[in-house]
Amino acid sequence: MTQKQLLQIVQSWNLNPNPEYRGFRCANCQKYMQKAWYHWLVEGGYKTPVHFCNSCEEKFKLNKIEINKPKLLVNKSKFKLPTEIKNKLIELSKKWKTKEKPIYKIFTCDACNENMYKAYHIWLTEKDRLIEVHLCRKCGKMLK
């Protein structure tokens, strides 16, 4: 049930095919935050962390989270990166411990593991799967 709910939430997001540098928001209520609950969505054509604020985490645990936003269609062909960068990001995503239980923590860079409050949010595709990677400003310089 957990993966199904996470998938429904992620499918309601308006994904940007271009890397964007911004803060982090709750997956459900979209409130900006500096620390969050990390869940992993690894089904339904996605591999991404899903972040919840404390309030939405409680609702999620109690199975009371309401997903009222419509499912948005995603054109995966728009998510293009240079092959060299894409391969580096895929290698980063292979190191993720996606089977861990949810944890409450400060956001960290997927490349250097430094704490951060803003990041490059980068979506890419691998074998028809959308992956979201987060890089700090320093590590994100590889995107340019």
Instruction: Quick: pLDDT tens for 57-114.
Output: 999 999 999 888 889 999 999 999 999 999 999 999 999 999 999 999 999 999 999 9
Q: Measured between alpha carbons, how far is residue 108 from residues 9, 61, 104 in Å?
A: 22, 24, 12
pTM of the entire predicted model = 0.92
Residue 143 has pLDDT above 90, yes or no: no
CA distance 2 to 52: 13
CA–CA distance, 51 with 141 (Å, rounded to integer): 24
Beta strands 129-135 and 46-52: pairing type? parallel
Residue 142 pLDDT exceeds 80:
no
| Residue 1 banded pLDDT, cuts 50, 70, 90 | low
Q: How many Cβ atoms sit within 10 Å of the Cβ of residue 22?
A: 11
Q: Cβ distance 107 to 132 under 8 Å? A: no
The pLDDT, as a whole number, for residue 67 is: 86
Whats the size of the chain, residue-wise? 144
Phi, psi (rounded to 5 degrees) for 23: -75, -175
